[in-house]
Amino acid sequence: MSFPAAELRFQQSALAQPLNGIGISLVWDGKTDARLAWETVDGARQQVAYLKTMVTFWVRVAMRSVANANARKQAQIASDRLYLILQNSGATRPLSQKGIHRLRPKPPYPVADAGYQLRQIVCAAQLRYTVLSQV
């Protein structure tokens, strides 16, 4: 499964290319302490950093985005599918190859908003990356 290219937006910006009226946003909590370890990477000793973090996915559907459709049901279906993808190790393999490991999503739940149907998925994750040495 290939992940689509991301488009940088802030707050509740208009959805430029929604998936049939559905938008998925990501918020990353960057506050974490790194655990450093020495490992063999590509045949050489390299320092590796491990970070535990939280990622929040916001699934939103504009109330008026799709004619004759139930926005609440669309948000529920989209968030349930995203939750299942995040739980599937085969589907998240491209993320683990980029250093995003141990995804632990919590089930989606609705959040009140006046203009959108919102559902939130909070996901614990571990980041792993090599530390570049400065010589």
Asked whether residue 90 carries a pLDDT value surpassing 60, the answer given is yes
Asked whether residue 68 carries a pLDDT value surpassing 70, the answer given is no
User: Judging by beta carbons within 10 Å of its beta carbon (0-12, 13-18, 19+), is residue 122 exposed, middle or buried?
Assistant: middle
For 22-130, the fitting CATH number among 3.30.2000, 3.40.50, 3.30.70, 3.30.930 is 3.30.2000
Per residue in 106-132, pLDDT tens?
A: 999 998 877 778 899 999 999 998 887
- What are the structural domain ranges in the chain? 22-130
CA distance 67 to 73: 13
**135 band by pLDDT with thresholds 50, 70 and 90:** low
* Single-letter code of the amino acid located at 128: R
Per DSSP, helices labelled H in 88-133 are 93-97
- On whether the CB atoms of residues 108 and 119 are closer than 8 A, the answer is yes
Per residue in 22-61, pLDDT tens?
A: 888 888 887 777 889 998 878 888 889 999 999 999 998 8
